[in-house]
Chains A and B, each alone.
Chain A
C-alpha cells in the first residue's frame, strides 16, 4: 500500500496546501510543521510556476511572491529533506507539467523518492497525456494523482479505474479560490468513483470554512484546502505559521 493511502486510514483526511517559498522557505517549513501538529494528515506542497493557469488570484500571487523571492525546484527539494527529519505524514507536490519536464522527469522523480515525497499532482496533465510522466513515476514509486472535474461526466469511470494514491475531486468549475457555496452534484460524482475504484477521494477547490469542510467530509474521504491558507500566509508573512496552525485546528477539530 502506498504511503498516501495510509493517510486515509484513520478517519477522514485533512489536506492543506501551501505554496513553497512564500514568503520564504523557512516560513513554509514552519507552516508545514504547524499544519501537521494541528491535524493535517497529508500535506500538499506547491512548487511555484510563473503561469499557473488553474489557479485563482490568491495562489497566482503566492506563486509570483515565491518566485520573486528566488525559490527554485532544487531548493524546495532541500526543504523537503529537512522537513522529513521530523514530519512523517505523506506529502505530495502540486505543480505544473513544465516544472517537472524542465527539471527532467526522471531526475525529478528520483529527487522525490530520495527526499521522501509520496506523490505528484499536475493540474495540466489530463488522462490523455499522463503517459508523459506515469511510467517514470511508477518506476520511482511516486503516485501520480488524477483529478476529476464537475465536467468530467463520462470520463469519471475511466479516470477512477486507473487512479493512484487518491483521487482529487475538483468541487466547482473555474480556478482555485474560496467560494461561498458549492453547487456541483458531488455525491453523484463520488458514487461513480466508488463504483470504479476503492482508492480514497478528496474534494478540493473553494473550501475555506469548517462548515464546508464538514459537508465535504460527509461526501468524501478527505478535504483539500489551499487558497484560505495561502491568504493567511500573505496576510501574516513570516508570522503566518501560528495563524496557519490555528486555522488548520479549526478545520479539523469538528472531525468525528
Chain B
C-alpha cells in the first residue's frame, strides 16, 4: 500500500547490496510473487502456523495490571506462547516453506537474542534442511541457552567476532556467507530490514499478528483498540502488530526502541531517537552513526534490540507521523519485566518488556474505557540469568 517505487517505503528501503546477490534477491522476489497468493502454499503455511506453531495466539485481558495502573484496559497479544517462544516463528515458517518451493536445501540466518536463530533451526529440523546461524560472540555469551537450543535442533552456530560482536555483525556475516554460497542457500532474514524484498516478505508473514488482534478485539470488545504498542529493533513484531491498523487512524501505533542507558548517552540503540538517514545492510533508513557515516557501536541490555538501524517501513511510518517511536531504557525495561512477572504471572522477553514499560507509563493517564494492546513478542526464560546479573545476582552454576 505504501511502496511508491519498487521496494521503497517513501524514501526508505531499496536494494543496496553487492552485485553478487542481485540475482538471488530477484529470484526471491519472483518466487514470493508466485507463491504468496497460491492457495496450496497458504494452506500448507496455515497448517504449520496453527498445528505446529500453535496459532492463533491469545489476546489476553490483563485485568490485574489494568486495575493496578488504574487507567486504560490492557490486553496482551501473547506471541510468547508460540512454539519456540516468540513471534519469530511466523516469519521463519513462511520463509522456510518458500525456500523449499524454490528448491533450496540450506537456511542461513543471523540472530541477536537467539529467538530467530532458534526458530530457523526449528523450521530447518522440521523440513529437513541444513541450517547455519550467525550470532555475535557477545550474544552467544548473553544467550547461552539459545545457543544450546540451536545446536540441539541440529543447527551449526557460528560466533561472529568482528566489529562489536553483536547483531549487526551477525547480519554482515550472514550476508557475506550468502555471497559465498547462493545456489542451494536461502538467507532467512529475521526482521523487516535488509534489501527488498525482505522488508515486505517478513512484514507479510508477521502481519498475522495484527490480523488476529483486530478480529479478537472486535470479538471481545466490539471495537478497535486505541493504541497498539510493540518493541522495535529491526521492527518485525512491531510491523506485524501495526500492519492491519495502518489504515485505521483512530488506532495509535507506538514502537518502543531500546534506549539502553539513555538517549543522551552513547550506550543506546534508539535509532529513530538518535540516528540519521543512511544506507546500510541493503537499505536506506535511519541508522546510529558518526559524522562520517561509520555505523555506531550500539548498546542495549536486550540482545534482540541491540541493532543500529530500523526497518525501512518503520522509518517511513515515522516520517509520515502515522506511528510514534519512543525510547525505553534498560532500567525501565527491567522494572517492567519484574512487574509483569509479579502482577500477571507472565515473564516477558526483555525485548517485549520495553513495550510493557511504555504501556505502564501511558495507561494511568488514559480513560478507563480506552484500550491498549501490548504485543508480548517473546517469553523471558532466556533472559532470567542476565536480568539476575543486572540486579547483582549470579545464578550461573
Q: Using a CB–CB distance below 8 Å, which chain A residues touch chain B?
A: 49-51, 53-54, 56-57, 60, 64, 67, 72-74, 96-103, 123-129, 132, 146-155, 159, 170, 173-175
Contacts and interface: CB of A to CB of B under 8 A. Distances in A.
Contacts of A128: 14-15, 22
Interface string B273-307: 00011111110000101011111000000000000
Interface stretch (B134-142, B162-170, B264-272, B376-384): B162-170
B295 A51 contact: yes
Nearest to A102: B293
Contacts of B280: 51, 97-98
B172 A51 contact: yes
Contacts of A102: 276, 278, 289, 291-293
Contact of A150 (B14, B20, B163, B176): B20
A56 to B, nearest CB: 8
A254 B341 CA distance: 72
Interface residues of B, number: 36
A155 B23 contact: yes
Nearest to A95: B293
Interface stretch (B40-48, B76-84, B179-187, B318-326): B179-187
B69 interface: no
B175 A174 contact: no
A54 B179 contact: yes
Nearest to A74: B292
Q: Which 9 residue pairs are nearest across A and B when measured between Cβ atoms?
A: A102-B293, A174-B180, A149-B20, A50-B294, A97-B279, A98-B293, A149-B19, A50-B295, A147-B19
A126 B279 CA distance: 13
A134 B176 CA distance: 26
Contact of A152 (B17, B22, B163, B181): B22
B217 interface: no
Given A53-B281, A173-B182, A174-B180, A152 B23 contact: yes
Question: For A132, A146, A174, which residue has the most chain B Cβ atoms within 10 angstroms?
Answer: A174
A128 B17 CA distance: 10
Nearest to B27: A151
A159 B277 CA distance: 28
Interface of B: 14-24, 162-163, 168-169, 172, 175-176, 179-182, 276-282, 287, 289, 291-295
Contact of A54 (B18, B162, B277): B18
A125 to B, nearest CB: 6
Contact of B19 (A73, A96, A170): A170
A72 B290 CA distance: 11
Nearest to A148: B19
B23 A151 contact: yes
B295 A151 contact: no
A202 to B, nearest CB: 15
Contacts of B17: 124, 126
A148 B20 CA distance: 8
Contacts of B278: 98, 101-102
A93 to B, nearest CB: 13
A22 to B, nearest CB: 15
B254 to A, nearest CB: 28
Contacts of A50: 163, 294-295
A155 B22 contact: yes
Given A125-B16, A151-B21, 4 more contacts: A53-B18, A54-B18, A124-B17, A151-B23
B293 A152 contact: no
A151 B182 contact: yes
B306 to A, nearest CB: 14
Contacts of B289: 98, 102
Given A102-B292, A126-B22, A155-B23, A60 B16 contact: no
A153 B293 contact: no
Contact of B162 (A49, A60, A67, A132): A60
7 contacts: A67-B294, A99-B292, A100-B293, A101-B278, A102-B289, A102-B293, A150-B20
A96 B168 CA distance: 16
Contacts of A148: 19
A175 B180 CA distance: 7
A99 B294 CA distance: 7
Contacts of A51: 163, 168-169, 172, 280-281, 295
Contact of B294 (A49, A53, A54, A100): A49
Contact of A127 (B22, B168, B172): B22
A139 B291 CA distance: 25
Contacts of A49: 293-294
Question: For A74, A96, A126, A154, which residue has the most chain B Cβ atoms within 10 angstroms?
Answer: A126
Given A50-B294, A98-B287, A102-B293, A175 B15 contact: no
A53 B175 contact: yes
B105 to A, nearest CB: 17
